[in-house]
Chain A
Amino acid sequence: MTNVLAAAKDKRAPWYKRLPVVAQLRRSVGLQRGMLITGIVICLVFILTAIFAPLIAPFGFGQLRDDAGAFPRQAAPGGEHIWGTTVGGYDVFSRVVWGAQTAISVVIVAVILSVTIGVVLGLVSGYLGGWLDRVLVVIADAVYAFPSLLLAIVVSIVISGGQSSLLGGIVAAGISITVVFVPQYFRVVRAEAVRLKAEAFVESSKVVGSSTARIMFKHVLRNATRSLPLILTLNASEAILTLASLGFLGFGIGPTAAAEWGYDLNRALSDTASGIWWTGVFPGAAIVLLVLGVTLVGESLNDLADPRLRTRRRAKRRTAATTPLPAAATTEGAGA
């Protein structure tokens, strides 16, 4: 038994090749690989921008003057302010760069919180069942059907009363988004837990005498989380959009606490009438690009996980060429 397991382990690829995104990257071909790589590159650029924001941004996000005096207001791009300045006198380029930090922090907070809560609730609900399960399912369904932005607004009122500091704002926005996402993880994990609890390996651990908690968090959890990386990336992109929407409605983080793209877009709205485009286009483009990158990764993972959508043609030709199969098997493989 142990020998077989050890042998199976030896055959598996090294751990770094089995990481969620890396594994799919190795499996992908052609256009899908292109999409995945583009997505990963965009995400990496933004993550690096977020980490090195203090080095990249020429000014602080709340900075209105330097040694030479106050910044000009609504200055066109060029010169000292390469992307211009806003109506309040902020440097657009600096705020876009710092905004990456805010966006990515919020995404991390939101995703970690919602995965943790959603997975635990889903496991407990699905594995234990009973009245708790029924109540949680009805609540999750009700929340799921409700416009997520409205829910996020209500929660952000509750948490921060509207405006807040940098850390408070990030946590508040993160939690607001979490409330929206928990039902999604809950549904997925619950469905898996319900399916898995009828499996033989759960029964055998019961026979061996494992505690319910051990079965749930060791055996069921391991098998129920396969589809999570996928929802996770899709949710990360939604988190960015929700954060920006909250900011746009005036419920984000104040301009002196942090740079937030949605807030900047709100300010930029009144600029458009006079043809000032740089205050809105740059933060907006940043949102689009980041969401695009994350979505490309998510979409590719989705396609690769779904055999109906996976591109297989070229991969098949390769296997047909490298492994000498009987003719019948080859044609069958090509026809499938």
Chain B
Amino acid sequence: MTVLNDTSPTAPAVSGPRRERTRGGGLGRYVLIRFLLIFPTVFILVTLVFFLMRVVGNPITAAVGGRLTPAQLQERLHAAGYDRPIIVQYGEYLGQLARGDFGTTLTDHQKIIDILLTYGGATIELVFYALIVALIVGIPLGMLAAYVRDRWPDVILRVFAIFTYATPVFFAGLLLKLVFSVWLGWLPLGGRASTRIELALGGIPNPTGIYIIDALRTGNPTIITDVLAHAVMPALALGLITGGVFLRLVRTNVIGTLGADYIDAARSRGVSEIKLVRAHALKPALIPIITVMGLQIAMLLGGSVLTETTFGWRGLGFELQQYLSARDFVAVQGIVALLAVIVAVTNFIVDIVAAFIDPRVRY
């Protein structure tokens, strides 16, 4: 791989983040550099959030300012260290982060990292379901749209994609709730499982917090069905939006590859049309899709705040919303910083996967 890379000056440039081809760029080197790049990214985001949050003043005044006398407020500020120079606070904050301490919430004195451990599983579960829905919807429909380009099925699919984009996830959720749980009564209105099932799942040894895994471990069909039934609407609401993005992406890229000479060559060899699209045209188109998928996972995390709030799905996003309405900005800052780390690591993993698939992606 490395040899090929070094000796082929005509290798086409790879789309996506700026990547300059240098000498001796092997996979190992790429992984290392890409890994090191996580740190400045996280550092910048954390710094940005820290200083933005401090521009307003301090979290304590924001949370309880109106309810205390100036003297009391001053005492609280002093106790928390918010009266020191901002640069000292910043240094201390970075030190805490380096030790993996994202702070403690003001309102209920929980460690942010504990919130992650308790509710992270729920968010991962939701994002995973949504991603599956998005891929199932996006890839086949995108290929179809590319193949029948500019004819009526393509138009319908494109309108569908625009609609999924135009519908905010909470409105999609509201409509799904109205139709499937209120009018038809098929699916539960919200939550991750029925109260009884949730208690049962909490009682099993070493719960993962990812309900579907816990449910499968119990092997009880009632529990599994209940957990899955609760997941259908949140997964659809969040997944369809991303599915629309994938559809458009697959369509554009497959249209690009369908025009290539090797497609004509394959067609003249008698390769069936389905195989032509599925194998020959899709594979080269997958690389930009994987890169965008990384960005989309970040967007899914953002969208999960809305989805979790809509469906009362108790994950990180739901907690974030709770702290937002409680005006607990220490908690908000902590969760946002944590999400910054998660997003940076996710993007790293996606880029590595892309590098494994495509030997042209190297530093």
Residues of A within 8 A of B (CB): 31, 138-139, 141-143, 145-150, 153-155, 157-158, 161-162, 237, 241, 244-245, 248-251, 262, 265-266, 268-269, 272-275, 277, 280-281, 284, 287-289, 291-292, 295-296, 299, 308-309, 311
Contact = CB atoms under 8 A, between A and B. Distances in A.
Given A146-B298, A248-B170, A249-B321, A308 B306 contact: no
A147 B189 contact: no
B246 to A, nearest CB: 16
Given A141-B17, A154-B52, A292-B162, A241 B324 contact: no
A138 B40 contact: yes
Contacts of A148: 299, 302
A249 B304 CA distance: 12
A149 B306 contact: yes
A282 to B, nearest CB: 11
B309 A154 contact: no
B22 interface: no
Nearest to B171: A284
Chain B contact residues, majority secondary structure: helix
B356 interface: no
22 contacts: A31-B155, A142-B48, A145-B41, A145-B343, A146-B298, A147-B298, A154-B49, A154-B332, A249-B309, A265-B174, A269-B170, A275-B178, A277-B178, A280-B171, A281-B175, A287-B167, A287-B168, A288-B166, A288-B171, A291-B167, A292-B163, A309-B252
B335 to A, nearest CB: 9
Most chain B Cβ neighbours within 10 Å, of A248, A295, A308? A248
A280 B52 CA distance: 33
Given A146-B343, A147-B301, A147-B339, A272 B48 contact: no
B168 A241 contact: yes
B55 A158 contact: yes
Contacts of B343: 145-147
A154 B339 CA distance: 13
A289 B158 CA distance: 15
B255 A157 contact: no
Contact of B309 (A248, A280, A291, A309): A248
B290 to A, nearest CB: 15
Contacts of A249: 305-306, 309, 321, 324
B295 interface: yes
Given A146-B343, A153-B332, A141 B41 contact: yes
B349 interface: no
Contacts of B62: 157, 161
B53 A157 contact: yes
A147 B56 CA distance: 22
B182 A272 contact: yes
Contacts, number: 150
A157 B57 CA distance: 11
Q: How large is the interface on B (under 10, 10 to 19, 20 to 34, 35 or more residues)?
A: 35 or more
B306 A154 contact: no
A264 to B, nearest CB: 11
A141 B175 CA distance: 36
A43 to B, nearest CB: 13
B190 to A, nearest CB: 9
A277 B183 CA distance: 11
A208 B189 CA distance: 71
Given A245-B306, A248-B306, A287-B167, 14 more contacts: A142-B40, A143-B48, A146-B343, A147-B299, A149-B306, A150-B339, A154-B336, A157-B62, A157-B329, A158-B52, A245-B168, A249-B306, A273-B182, A311-B150
Contact of A248 (B53, B167, B168): B168
B340 interface: yes
B68 to A, nearest CB: 16
A189 B344 CA distance: 25
Contacts of B82: none
Contact of B166 (A155, A251, A292): A292
Contacts of A145: 41, 295, 298, 343-344, 347
B159 to A, nearest CB: 9
Nearest to A147: B302
B305 to A, nearest CB: 6
A161 B63 CA distance: 10
B117 interface: no
B303 interface: yes
A164 B70 CA distance: 24
Contacts of B49: 154
B285 to A, nearest CB: 13
B95 interface: no
B242 interface: no
B327 interface: yes
A324 B235 CA distance: 58
A142 B336 CA distance: 14
A275 B178 CA distance: 7
Interface in B127-185: 150, 155, 158, 162-163, 165-168, 170-171, 174-175, 177-178, 182-183
Contacts of A277: 178
Nearest to B248: A299
Interface string B8-24: 00000000010000000
A249 B307 CA distance: 11
B44 A142 contact: yes
Contacts of B344: 145
Nearest to B56: A158
Nearest to A251: B324
A245 B304 CA distance: 12
A148 B306 CA distance: 13
B166 A280 contact: no
B168 A284 contact: yes
Interface string B171-210: 1001101100011000001000000000000000000000
A273 B189 contact: yes
